[in-house]
Amino acid sequence: METKIKAGIIGTGFIGPAHLEAVRRLEFVEVIAVARRGQERADKKAEELGVPLAYGDYREMLRNPDIDVIHNCTPNHLHVQINREIIEAGKHVLSEKPLAMSSDESRELLALARKHGIVHGVNFNYRQFPMMKQLSEMVKQNELGRINMVHGSYLQDWLLYETDYNWRLEDKTGGRSRAVADIGSHWCDTVQYVTGKKISQVFADLWTVHPNRKKPVSHSDTFSGSDEDQADGEYEDIPIHTEDYASVLIRFDDGSKGAFTVSQVSAGRKNALSFELNGTCKSAYWKQEEPAKLWIGHRDRSNEVLMADPALFLKKARPSIHHPGGHTEGWPDSVKNMMLKYYTFIREGKDPLKDKANFATFEDGHVSMCIMEAILKSHKEERWIQVQQ
């Protein structure tokens, strides 16, 4: 019988358990350990999640020779250091975005990963929805014609109230950018993936809607919503320096244009990533919250809606869909698809220096950092900025 690839996960907040659940759906991988600060908390979490080994210090996990792959699911400010240590320990790494706190750091990580020849991935999962593979094939086969415009938004409401609080709000733990780095990064990765174009210039306008927030004295998780117990509770006033909202004009490397808006303070919008492509023949529109539908717009006949269905997909997109039409794959499945592609690359013994990955790598993570920095600079200097790699 094939020996299973063994994995460990560092960080057990919102996204760590999502990685765990996705990896568990792969029959050839086994998550044998989790790490979280403090042995007692780690033990408790490992038990809750049904994982055999618990580390109160991730460095001990790095020394376990049985572990082949490590997932970095820690808060943003810890990414670079832990990613560096994972690579230096000779383990394959799957990191959450952002890869680091600056593009100098993400460039260094990419070089280090290449030097050690390990398989590196970053969890840009939205490009892993089956319909995104179908759309990218439609674009490659020129079904839409030349793509002139790409526009859309990514809106959420979990930080709408000034009493909503999370580590992502603080620049020390979240980074210099929030809405752009946290969700704009997904929007940019997804549209660059489906169009095959690179964002080369940006002109941005950012806004911190709540320059001061009320931090609950008790702990607050991502997407935890309003805590009724906190209603009469104690708050601490905290100045906020990261953006709740951004609108960005973009120019692509082939001269085509677009724009996107991101916000974490838009009531009623939960995880509303959407975009539209306008080509010389057809348009296409997709939204993540209804992922099985692709609206296709025509000028001279009625518009259509394509439903995700292997029987209706282009041949090259078919392997990306795992259920018959109407059996809709959603967000957790996109994470599973990311894991499937990443671990299959390892299982097949592919060479990260020579073989093309069909998932986002540290290269994409670095590009994302460069776009984010160009956006911050553009907002500050109120002008178009070239994305520098």
Residue numbers of the site for ligand SOE (CB under 6 A)? 14, 156, 182-183, 186, 222, 271
Among 52, 119, 43, 125, which residue's Cα sits nearest to residue 86? 119
338-368 b/e with 16+ CB inside 10 Å = b?
Answer: bbbbbbebbeeeeebeeeebbbbbbbbbbbb
Q: Indicate the residue among 110 and 183 with the shorter CB distance to ligand SOE.
A: 183
The strand pairing partners of 53, in sequence order, are 33
Closest CA to 299 of 278, 274, 275, 276: 278
CB of 94 to ligand SOE, least distance (A): 14
Pick 82 or 385: Cβ nearer ligand SOE: 82
Q: How far is the CB of 123 from ligand SOE (least distance, A)?
A: 8
Radius of gyration, alpha carbons of the chain: 21
Give the side-chain half-sphere CA count within 13 A for 322: 11
* Closer by beta carbon to ligand SOE, 102 or else 224: 224
* Whether 375 contacts 184, CB under 8 Å: yes
Nearer to ligand SOE, 36 or 168 (CB): 168
DSSP secondary structure of 11-68: --SSHHHHHHHHHHT-TTEEEEEEE-SSHHHHHHHHHHHT-SEEESSHHHHHT-TT--
Total length of the chain = 389
Signed CA dihedral, 320, 322, 324, 329: sign only: negative
Report in angstroms how near the CB of residue 98 gets to ligand SOE at its nearest.
10
Distance in Å, CB of 183 to ligand SOE, minimum? 5
Q: Which is nearer to ligand SOE, 147 or 159 (CB)?
A: 159
**What is the rounded distance in angstroms from the CA atom of residue 351 to the CA atom of residue 31?**
23
Nearer to ligand SOE, 271 or 344 (CB): 271
Helix (H) or strand (E) holding 153: strand 147-155
Name the residue among 55, 60, 50, 56 with its Cα closest to residue 30. Answer: 50
Q: Please, what is the minimum distance in Å from the beta carbon of residue 222 to ligand SOE?
A: 5
First-to-last CA distance in the chain? 44
Nearer to ligand SOE, 137 or 170 (CB): 170
Closer CB to ligand SOE, residue 53 or residue 335? 335
Shortest Cβ contact with ligand SOE: which residue? 182
Closest to ligand SOE by CB, 75 or 310: 75
CB of 301 to ligand SOE, least distance (A): 36
Give min distance, CB of 254 to ligand SOE, in A.
28
Tokens for 205? 């306008």
State the burial class of residue 147 (Cβ atoms within 10 Å of its Cβ: 0-12, 13-18, 19+): buried
Shortest separation between residue 178's beta carbon and ligand SOE, angstroms: 9
Based on CB atoms, which residue is closest to ligand SOE, 183 or 321? 183
Minimum distance from residue 259 beta carbon to ligand SOE (Å): 21
Burial category of 296 from C-beta neighbours within 10 Å (exposed 0-12, middle 13-18, buried 19 and up): middle
Assess contact for 243 and 207: CB atoms under 8 A: yes
Q: Minimum distance from CB of 237 to ligand SOE (Å)? A: 23
